Structure 1
Amino acid sequence: MFQIIGIVVLFAMVFGSFIISGGKMGVIIEAAPHELMAILGAGVAAFLISNSMATIKAMGKGFSSAFKGPKWKAQDYRDLLSLLFLLTKTMKSKGVIALESHIEKPKESTIFSRYPKLMSDHFAIDFICDTLRMMTMNLEDPHQVEDAMEKQLEKHHHEALGPSHALSNLADGLPALGIVAAVLGVIKTMGSITEPPEVLGTMIGGALVGTFLGVFLAYGMVGPMAARMKDVVDEESSFYKIIQAVLVAHLHGNAAQISVEIGRGGVPSPAQPSFLELEEALSTIPAEG
């Protein structure tokens, strides 16, 4: 929502100030189509040249997240903490063997199936199950497990940032592509040097529209959009960090309640449940048979 408001304000302030100061939009409107064709066409081509197919496919999801915000809401964090509470409590009371059926087939698990939105995130479920599987194989050194989890998180975070990095690189190149479009306009103008001054003035103004659009798009739209996409990825990564914090805390010998409380501290402030809210959520979980 704020992104749409920002775009509206951007256009209103930039073009509004131009009109109020006596500028004529006719020159921009006339030149914009072919200038945008050169700038955006070259930008898209450079984007395709410099990025992998995986990054290109992920761009649509990245744009969507920039407008919708992080996919994890306050209830999702409570659900995650509740899921981790159930898993660590089961390990404490029944041993790691009791979890084997759950982590081998999480889709059929009576624990995992309680949280369908979490089940839709394959990385989160695989991250939990793979870590618990290491524990069932007697890898119980908290430092080794934490190190292994950290490497997985770094890899996932790096891959998730691909679209925002690609868009940021595109933003860096747009001003230069605007200059390319402007130079083409100047070349066209020089080919008509015998025309009257008023005609040459309009042609030069049209050429300068290319420079304007390159800088305007880079710093007014594409750059901020890339920054927003990065912020969303960074916030969503805290969701997976909580998994790491809770499971490592469990390996240090803490009770399930303490482990999830440690994880609660990593929840982003806008979505963080209070101690009492989490306690209430945990108390309403049906006992695992």
Structure 2
Amino acid sequence: MLIVGLLVVLGAVLGGFIMAGGQVAVLIQISEIIVICGAATGSILVGNPPSFLGHVLKEIMGLLKPSPYNKQAYMNLLKMMFNLFNVARRDGLLALESHIEKPEESELFKKCPELLADHHALAFFADSTKVVLTGAVAPHDLMEMMEIDVEMFEKEATHAAHVIQHTGDAMPGFGIVAAVLGVIITMGSIGGDPASIGHHVAAALVGTMLGVLLAYGIVGPIATAMMERAKQRVQFMHCIRYALFSFARGESPITCVEFARRNIDPEIRPSFSEMETEVRKKDAA
């Protein structure tokens, strides 16, 4: 929906402008765009390494794809954890070592490609399970460890969104800078051709308009979408966290995955009956 939303914003603005008799060519002021976008890019580089720009672009491009954290992804995760916990219950904790040491080669983990594709969540799952296998950490201590891990990941996952949001907030200011520079140029043309003066004034006003439009119509919404995607990744890890906490307390596999299911967003959360049917079917297979 990102592309659709941006098209609606631009379509509404340009459509209204054209309906009022405006000429779109007047809005194409390359110098104003360079000032605003260049200053915004520079402000990002001031507080972040150059590689951060590549990271931001990668995240923005990822928004063009559907979120991998959908109902089916969570169902796959619940089934995988249920089967993994069943292995431990049936064959003992040591039976999990081969799966945890090389999850990419585990047939159980392959049933949840969404987990394998998320290296942070996969490392979180594997490391936390290894702690359980040591038997040296109490469940409440494990829960605290996992909470710290998730909090650190959340800071990292939302950093890009926060930076883009702050940049969006600064866009109107950069637009004003571009407009003031345009006014300075206009003042140098006082006494000249009225048409030329009018052109310079229009160009200056375009800078203000672009700054506001970019801030509230493009950059701000993109930052919001990035934040939402980051929260989905964090929720995926919380789901794992509660399942492992229940597992460490010695609960049954179905209870462990029920703890995880309760932590899923209600919009995509499978019902208990749906989950039980799927995991039992998988277990029987």
TM-score band by shorter chain is: over 0.9
Corresponding residue for residue 105 of structure 1: 102
- Counterpart of 1:256 in structure 2 is 253
CA RMSD of aligned residues (A): 2.0
Which residue among 22, 31, 40 is the counterpart of 2:37? 40
More deviation, 266-275/183-192: 266-275
Q: Distance in 2 between matches of 1:102 and 1:203?
A: 68
Q: Is the 8 A contact 2:247 2:253 kept in 1?
A: yes
Aligned length: 285
Residue 2 of structure 2: aligned partner:
3
Q: Deviations over 1:111-152 (max 9, x none)?
A: 223334422222222111111111122234121101100111
1:211 Cα offset (Å): 0.8
CA distance in 1, matches of 2:102, 2:18: 64
1:48-73 residue CA offsets vs partner (Å, 9 max, x unmatched): 22223453232123112333242222
Q: Which residue of structure 1 aligns with residue 80 of structure 2?
A: 83
Partner SS for 1:269:
coil
AA partner of residue 165 (structure 2): S
Q: CA deviation at 1:99?
A: 1.4
Residue of structure 2 in register with 1:273 after alignment: 270
TM-score normalised according to structure 1 size: 0.91
The alignment status of 1:236 with 2:233, answered yes or no, reads yes
Percent identical among aligned pairs is 36
Query: Post-superposition shift, 1:240?
Result: 0.9
1:79-116: per-residue Cα shift (whole Å, max 9, x none)? 11111112222222332222122212223333223334
Q: The residue matched to 2:192 in structure 1 has which SS?
A: coil
Change over 3 Å in CA distance of 1:24–1:109 after alignment to 2: closer
Question: TM-score when scaled to structure 2?
Answer: 0.92
CA 1:104–1:27: 2 relative to 1, 3 Å: closer
Q: Distance in 2 between matches of 1:113 and 1:17?
A: 52
1:145-224 equivalence runs, <5 A: 145-224=142-221
Q: Name the residue aligned to 1:28.
A: 27
Separation in structure 2 between the aligned mates of residue 198 and residue 57 of structure 1, nearest angstrom: 43
Partner of 1:246: 243
Tell me how far apart the structure 2 counterparts of residues 3 and 204 of structure 1 sit (CA, whole Å).
Answer: 33
Kindly tell me: are residues 67 and 264 of structure 1, through their superposed partners in 2, closer, same or farther at Cα, counting changes over 3 Å? Answer: same
What is the aligned partner in structure 1 of residue 122 from structure 2?
125
Identify the residue that residue 90 of structure 2 maps to in structure 1. 93
**CA distance in 1 between partners of 2:253 and 2:233 (Å):** 24
